[in-house]
Amino acid sequence: MKKVLIVTGGSRGIGHATSVLAAKTGWDVCVNYVRNKVRADETVAKIQATGQRAIAVRADINNEQDVIRLFETCSAELGVVTGVVNSAGIVEPYCRVDELKYEEIIPLININVVAMMIVTREAIKRMSTKNNGSGGSIVLLSSVSARIGAPGVCVAYAASKGAVDSFAWGAAQEVVGEGIRINAVSPGLIDTEIQPEGRVKRDGPKLPMGRVGQPEEVARAIVWLLSEDASYVAGSNLDVAAGR
């Protein structure tokens, strides 16, 4: 069966690393982006250099119709979607709970929770054998912050990822008998551009392994969960955090 993958937020950070690594294991990839077409096109070029097909699709996953269009475009240009990685998300605001602003919380919840649910819904509608689909694999990006709470840094973000954990577990139970495996990956502190300036250098040496992680290290876990090597893995949450 042809392997066709959608990666939301696929043009940067963990999403970019996942898109490229998935291509090396035989996936055709639809790279979703919102603003930076140049970065998305660069990711597509790297995928095509592996011999796999790739397209970049601009879609704001905060917009339900954009999500539907993303899936429809991918299906039309690459084929039936059999894998989805929901990597898109935001971390800000960085602050204490008593400093939170309403207008900052809403975008965080919308993209990290609501959009994630809509992306998963659209994947299930197409993949489920109940809906005449052929099955597939969905990986949701969570965070170890959901477990440790991220006090003094980003508790609201941690809470949003706690929602991802609950959703991944419940959704997995609903569809595992319909040919779909849903799992989550929870990275620790990873060296990506979403980190505040100076955090990687400051906090890396304090971690159990003495360093932060790299996007490629998270990508390897994601691509494994997508693969047939993880054929009996569903409802799991894989920490990629070096003991944190």
Q: Residues with catalytic annotation?
A: 157
Taking the C-alpha atoms of residue 15 and residue 115, their distance in angstroms, rounded to an integer, is 16
Burial class of residue 173 (count of CB atoms within 10 Å of its CB; 0-12, 13-18, 19+) = exposed
Helices (H), the chain: 13-24, 37-48, 64-77, 102-109, 115-127, 145-148, 155-175, 199-203, 215-226
Helix (H/G/I), strand (E/B), else coil: 196: coil
Round to whole Å and give the CA distance between 78 and 142. 27
Please list the residues that pair with 140 across neighbouring strands. Answer: 86, 184
Q: How far is CA 237 from the centre of its chain?
A: 13
